[in-house]
Structure 1
């Protein structure tokens, strides 16, 4: 890569951060992604395993929720404790569900107490694109990015529209989008979704519904020739109905992102980011009602410098978490983290391209954590060879550290739970080798193999501490080894786009040799997309092998699900969609508890009607 190419990369990064997050490279038509290196790259240039889901992909998908969309991505597995809106976990490449760093418009968005993201509360109508980066990224982002990073960019609709949805389980939705402005552009999205749902588990007969109201606002424009400002606000709130013994809950999730991009010179770009995240959950449990609120304040400064040796990025990050809990056991705690990171991406040489990253995090409870990564790639004709190695860590959550001493009694037995302020961070190292082959202009395939070693895993374990007393507390007692193989292929034949992926995964506890919970050994996905004029048909077949659950004590059967989406423009200002989920009504289980299996969605149908308030195609 010559210096001029580096300058184009920096220019692309500027464009990505100050305009729409959906950017196409003019010459290659490859979608630009930014999450893997915190700078803009095409998919072919990236040394990481990346999947980008655009707004067009979302609209062509039969998925009704974000977890159903993500489970089609190679390396991702999900669990859900019931129907829509119920507790959802996302696992990436066999790591834990809180080993996935989730960003919304560049801002950390997971709960500070649970350490995981509220997937069920985020509407697909509020998403412009999703970037999924598989593999460790702690050397750029710090804690949590052991399995990878998922960044959600909120909606940037360019047309005023109204979408109405109705379907199974008495689902009804309405979403309005609009945009305008010239020098200063704005985008507004607002909607509401209600579903009566399904019973959470087979022993119940009453449906457990879910209500979600969502809105987002984006404003962006030039402050001067050198300065561009991008403001984004996202809000979700609603109610989740659960079984009587658990009690219903209300939730509120917010993210605020303020990004200033300053072009200091043709070869030097600076980015300043301020962020705010709110996660509030109010439980109406009949036994232990409570309200838990976490707030995160974050700031970052990144410098991208293009010089003869390549592209160097240097920056600092800061975030502070505050958590409060009332009623049954009080929490009022804060933790903070400050970090310095550096990354260098070399120009292409006869020996290939090299990316080196390093970061130092100073965590108020987890201490100093140093992470680094090294990536190499070389393109030979239509083949690109890849290799990378990276370290990562996960700091304990506020619940892990400070969950208050809580006592309950059932049938004469006392149960106690409390956090452990002496926990150490979880750590990992990952080696990955890959190959990408562009067979023809319309056909390609990718192969990746990787191994991740996990140390000091935090596990909440129960021990008997008295004749009729049991205590549950977390400790660093587990190690695990994960080995995986990912195969991805895609081709275009006339009006058909065909793609597929296959994953083999061994994720085992080192002490017991048992596969970790909720990680299928095999997973496959086949997709066929047909388009002609104003019509589009999407067919998906998703399969997963057997999985362990309940700490390895039970094995869940494998399953295959067939989904379908047909979309057509029946007028210049109107589009219709009919979507089928689990068309053949497969009976399967995603998650289980000691009280029994959780129900999953059977055959379902949804109809979307979208009306545009203008004649633009």
Structure 2
């Protein structure tokens, strides 16, 4: 994992470094989600983390949240076993303030505006890119606190390759997966399929019913060079989740019931990229479509809710690179773009709906104009600026901007980085139209939430890059926050006043030449409502420690992980008015071992929650205890 939020325990780690060591020069890391066009990491003034394929192959996580729990500034709230609602909050913001992309396609549900990470197993993923801070100037609504781009594997230009894998676990896990890729000079295609089942565990503290889940994740992508200047590419993803859950009553007690959730999703895109013969001009065009179909049943087997949401997008960018060697020895890139987004949402049925008009389909459309400037000065100062205006047909228009800069100070290993910008998050379809009799009344007059955020930090590379430290301070203010008002029935309103989030991210990454790597992070978050009360499910203190060692003489590697979460505030509805409660701090230890039996076959084992720590992310919902897994992977 590479990160630009890097530094704690630096002095202790530095004392163990040898006086001299050999360091392999790595190719520049390119981040696709950082702007309208890809960035090299040294050019980024914004705070980022990239979880690379080596990290994923080493730790072999079952679900994406298993990795994201270690990312600085991230807080995960899982309501039960895998497949159930899992929210992710970045830097103290709301779950729908982070935009999730899969191969560049927005994947959040139109009903809530957020991505349910309970539905996403690790399947054929090449890397995960994380940008923290407001990114709405590049990506529009829901990118107020950051962007997560999940990139699936692509093929290399050297013929056929593939893999098959299987895994078993003490929680009744059965996993089967495979991938296939083909590449030649002008054509590349790849795809993968993963089937995962778990018997799960009892979400409730009552009874003994296990709450399991089934995941199907399939994806494919291709790229074809039509001419030396023109490339066509496409992506396709299908996902299906069936999860058993339990019902939480109005006293916040999770009852041991037989509720279920079923979700289908299908996403696809096509893109064209053109570059002039001299490499100065470029054009990009992309269209995408996605659909999410969700069905929930209650403890009596009746339909609690059923809905479908669709999103159609189109984008076009044109840009030019140019040099001005006589002016600060600088290079520049200017990009102009247009984005189109059309979203629909329809509730198909619910035992709570008595008015048929509540089943009418809803739709909204936005058109956006965006411009981006990137400049490099003396090959050490990097500046980025972006401006966007969204024309919304359902509520007020929105203008957002982004400014960032980085200075790689020569011959020092020091990089200064800072960013500032604004973000916006549109009201969700459910907030506008999600009527539930005697419980919730929608508010079609809501306006988008808006925010301003900035961060600044310093990154220091020591011992030829073996040790990289960083400290980053961040600050975000939120206006027009959409909050619940009243009870039975309640509604949502744009709250007066300003909510605040601020904190510090510290990390250190160590890469010894002898096969030992370590990464440690600590995050402090102070997230406040407009009335200065603490926000729920956002721990003030969190951190992670990752260790790995690859033996030189035998094909064996071991890894360990410690995920630490401080006291977390949640809401107990057993009283009226509801009261705040503290979920105690906890630490979870994971680990594993990988053995390369041959060039083609790898055996592995891992343990989750080694010390069987009992804790809750969400009040009333149990989490998984100690579990063991064993698997094998064959490549060809």
TM-score computed with the length of structure 1 as normaliser: 0.89
Question: In the alignment, does 2:337 pair up with 1:322?
Answer: no
Partner of 1:278: 291
Distance 1:96 1:246, change over 3 A: farther
Partner of 1:607: 630
CA distance in 2, matches of 1:602, 1:237: 25
CA distance in 2, matches of 1:84, 1:536: 27
Match for residue 503 of structure 2 among 481, 484, 503: 484
Partner of 1:460: 484
Within a 5 Å distance, the mapping from 1:573-612 to structure 2 comes to 573-592=600-619, 597-612=620-635
Check whether the contact 1:261–1:269 (CA below 8 A) recurs between aligned residues: yes
Per-residue deviation, 1:238: 2.9
Question: In the alignment, does 2:411 pair up with 1:391?
Answer: no
Partner of 1:473: 491
Check whether the contact 2:83–2:241 (CA below 8 A) recurs between aligned residues: no
Question: In the alignment, does 2:570 pair up with 1:541?
Answer: no
Per-residue deviation, 1:367: 2.1
Per-residue deviation, 1:157: 6.1
Partner of 1:209: 212
Within a 5 Å distance, the mapping from 1:46-125 to structure 2 comes to 46-61=44-59, 63-125=61-123
Per-residue deviation, 1:105: 1.1
Per-residue deviation, 1:373: 1.5
Match for residue 583 of structure 2 among 538, 556, 562: 556
Between 1:553-562 and 1:543-552, the stretch displaced more is 543-552
CA distance in 2, matches of 1:64, 1:151: 18
- Which ranges of structure 1 fall in alignment gaps of 5 or more residues? 1-25, 408-414, 464-469
Partner of 2:374: 345
Within a 5 Å distance, the mapping from 1:84-483 to structure 2 comes to 84-156=82-154, 159-182=161-184, 183-243=186-246, 247-265=259-277, 266-285=279-298, 286=300, 288-308=303-323, 310-328=332-350, 329=353, 330-349=359-378, 352-380=381-409, 381-404=412-435, 406-407=436-437, 415-441=438-464, 442-463=466-487, 470-477=488-495, 479-483=498-502
| Residue aligned with 2:70, SS | coil
CA distance in 2, matches of 1:387, 1:71: 24
Check whether the contact 2:268–2:289 (CA below 8 A) recurs between aligned residues: yes
Question: In the alignment, does 2:558 pair up with 1:527?
Answer: no
Distance 1:62 1:461, change over 3 A: farther
Per-residue deviation, 1:63: 2.9
CA distance in 1, matches of 2:134, 2:170: 39
| Residue aligned with 1:69, SS | helix
| Residue aligned with 1:553, SS | strand
CA distance in 2, matches of 1:546, 1:52: 27
Per-residue deviation, 1:43: 2.2
Distance 1:293 1:447, change over 3 A: same
Distance 1:498 1:115, change over 3 A: same
Distance 1:105 1:156, change over 3 A: same
| Residue aligned with 1:170, SS | coil
> After superposition, what is the alpha-carbon deviation per residue over 1:382-426, rounded to whole angstroms, capped at 9, x for unaligned?
21112221011101011111113x22xxxxxxx231210000111
| Residue aligned with 1:591, SS | coil
Distance 1:139 1:267, change over 3 A: same
Per-residue deviation, 1:552: 6.5
CA distance in 1, matches of 2:568, 2:624: 19
Question: In the alignment, does 2:587 pair up with 1:568?
Answer: no
Q: CA RMSD in A?
A: 1.8
Partner of 1:518: 537
CA distance in 2, matches of 1:496, 1:351: 31
Distance 1:559 1:242, change over 3 A: same
Partner of 2:34: 36
Check whether the contact 1:378–1:385 (CA below 8 A) recurs between aligned residues: yes
Distance 1:547 1:152, change over 3 A: same
Check whether the contact 1:102–1:117 (CA below 8 A) recurs between aligned residues: yes
Check whether the contact 1:62–1:563 (CA below 8 A) recurs between aligned residues: no
CA distance in 1, matches of 2:441, 2:59: 43
Task: Tell me the matched-pair count.
Answer: 569
Ranked by relative contact order (alpha carbons within 8 Å, sequence separation 6 or more), the top structure is 2
CA distance in 1, matches of 2:130, 2:260: 32
Per-residue deviation, 1:283: 1.7
Per-residue deviation, 1:460: 2.1
Check whether the contact 1:516–1:552 (CA below 8 A) recurs between aligned residues: no
